[in-house]
Structure 1
Amino acid sequence: MRAIWKGALTFGLVNVPVKVYAATEDHDVSLHQVHNKDGGRIRYQRICEIDGEVVPYQDIDKAYDDGDKTVVLTKEDLASLPAERSREIDVVEFVPSEQVDPLTFDRAYYLEPDSASPKAYVLLRRTLEQTDRTAIVRFSLRQKTRLAALRVRGDVLVLQTLLWADEVREAAFPSLDESVRISAKELELSASLVDSFASDFDPADFADEYQEELRILIREKLEKGDALDTSETFGEQEEAAGGEVIDLMEALRASVERSRAARGDAAPAKKSTDAASAGSKRSAGSKPASKAKPTAKKKTTKAS
């Protein structure tokens, strides 16, 4: 990996020199646009609207237009800003880890100690682990002030940039204000369904099915060209199940049984006479639920 930034973590008078690395990467198949009539590549050019010439990227500056006047901001102007010149990641506060909403997480970066002795780095890492705290930090990167959460992942400090408060939309849905009655039996069956899907999460157990299928499609198109019959490669496409289920209790019970059967559990979903009678009726005020989907299957195949 190549470091994208160098600086120092600072909290109080403690200074921890670090290198910053992007923690994630994109493995999606890269596609470009073509003209569907002749296959010609579609390209985008930066053209000046005054002289009509294509402008090289290095000759492009930024500008702000207030309606009456345009101010051009050169690369030198932007580089002169104090925040842009700073090479410090300032710890603002240490907060309980559960108070950092995952919805605000943005990009992740690894921090590597960048000094002869990693003692200060290890001390900060162990302190975060022991106190179960997350450090909220502020720094500048690529012409933006960033707010981030500094946390521990294994033996590495991870910097997770955060969205600003006004960048997270409010979930204002009138339908959530409606009163809904949920029976104890519905909760019991729903909990049983959750339990039947219970497992320890390992990201390596899953794969991007779309990207795998896309690679197969590209390979087949390279071999067979436009004569390719996709139904032979992928089979006939099944129509997605739609509509709404009127009997929520029966849908829950059937889902539990199907999930257990898929996992090889012979024990049927618990039934009782009161559940059977309740199954023919929806709870008063409750809404129809969507049809239960087939049990999700983990994939361990690697992208070809």
Structure 2
Amino acid sequence: MATIATMTVSFGLVAVPVRLSPATERNRVPLHEVHVRDTGRIRHRRFCELEDREVPYAEVGRGVEMPDGTVAALDEADLERLPLPSRRLINVLGFVPAAEIDPIMYGRAYYAHPAGSAAERPYEILVAALARTGLAGVAKTAIRSRERLAVLRPRHGVLVVHTVYWPDEIRDPGPASATPVTDRELELAEMLMNQLCGVDVKDLRDEYGEALQELAAAVTAGKELEPAPEPGRPPVDLMEALEASVRAAEAKRRPSETS
């Protein structure tokens, strides 16, 4: 895995140099922008709005707009001098029970491996302590040129650094539904959920990507595809639908339990 940054995890007086690498990747069929009439690829070019001309990538940098409207252009050398303590640091502010972190806050995930033999022992202690206590580290760090909150947690003996959204970046979902739920409805829903337990995520596959390939092949060959089935509509009698679902789930589960 490619290292995107070398940083130092700091908690208390302990410092652990680590190498960060992306923990996820996208393996999906891409939908390119094309010219519909001749399927030529659409390319986005970089134009300077002041000179009204295309500029090469070597001349493209980043800039910050100042209060008076002027723009300060920054190159990589300038960003290396960024006066921010968290620029090369994953500064652990404290530890909280991992279950208390709302999953909606999670962003990108990175694997952190020890950078050098001197880092191996404190790294192993940190990962083992997180695993045994069920705690997660809450930290500040700067990844990809901006300061972020981060959560440190163990996964299969490896430290994972999750960037998380700042609290003011989480949108308000609006008022919750005020529709009352009866005890019997809740009981049936829980029975159905218990019958449907045991999904192995490793066995799941990307059916959208397969369907997209099938569609592309059909369009190229001028063939028609069978229309996808319509999604189910809300049941007229909810209780009857829940009871039927429980019976169907029990019947489907019973052969696998006896085999």
1:192 aligns with 2:182: no
Mapped partners of 1:104, 1:79: distance in 2: 28
Tell me what 1:254 maps to.
244
1:172 aligns with 2:174: yes
Query: Do the aligned partners of 2:138 and 2:150 also contact (CA within 8 Å) in 1?
Result: yes
Going from structure 1 to structure 2, the CA distance change for 1:39 and 1:215 (only over 3 Å counts) comes to: closer
Tell me what 1:270 maps to.
none
Local SS of the residue matching 1:188: helix
Question: Quick one: which of 163, 166, 169 aligns to 2:165?
Answer: 163
Question: Quick one: which of 204, 220, 224 aligns to 1:226?
Answer: 220
Mapped partners of 2:50, 2:65: distance in 1: 17
Local SS of the residue matching 2:99: helix
1:93 aligns with 2:94: yes
Q: String of CA shifts for 1:129-155, please: whole Å, max 9, x gaps.
A: 222211111111121012111000011
Tell me what 2:231 maps to.
240
Tell me what 1:209 maps to.
207
Going from structure 1 to structure 2, the CA distance change for 1:211 and 1:226 (only over 3 Å counts) comes to: closer
What is the TM-score of this pair, normalised by structure 1?
0.76
Q: Name the amino acid aligned to 2:96.
A: V
Q: CA deviation at 1:66?
A: 6.0
Q: Name the amino acid aligned to 1:154.
A: H
Return 15-24 or 25-34, whichever deviates more: 25-34
What is the TM-score of this pair, normalised by structure 2?
0.88
Local SS of the residue matching 2:53: coil
Unaligned runs of 5+ in 2: none
Q: CA deviation at 1:246?
A: 2.9
Return 130-139 or 30-39, whichever deviates more: 30-39
Q: CA deviation at 1:30?
A: 2.4
Query: Do the aligned partners of 1:78 and 1:84 also contact (CA within 8 Å) in 2?
Result: no
Local SS of the residue matching 1:146: strand
Query: Do the aligned partners of 1:84 and 1:141 also contact (CA within 8 Å) in 2?
Result: no
Tell me what 1:146 maps to.
148
Tell me what 1:116 maps to.
117
Q: Name the amino acid aligned to 2:188.
A: L
Q: String of CA shifts for 1:153-184, please: whole Å, max 9, x gaps.
A: 011011011100011011212x62x351x333
Q: CA deviation at 1:73?
A: 2.6
Q: CA deviation at 1:127?
A: 1.4
Q: String of CA shifts for 1:85-135, please: whole Å, max 9, x gaps.
A: 832211110111122111100010101111224111111111112222111
Q: CA deviation at 1:67?
A: 7.8
Identity %: 37
Mapped partners of 1:82, 1:20: distance in 2: 21
Query: Do the aligned partners of 2:151 and 2:164 also contact (CA within 8 Å) in 1?
Result: yes
RMSD: 2.3
Mapped partners of 2:28, 2:85: distance in 1: 32
Mapped partners of 1:217, 1:255: distance in 2: 32
Query: Do the aligned partners of 1:63 and 1:70 also contact (CA within 8 Å) in 2?
Result: no
Size of the aligned set, in residue pairs, is 254
Which structure's residues are more often strand, by fraction? 2
Q: Name the amino acid aligned to 1:136.
A: V
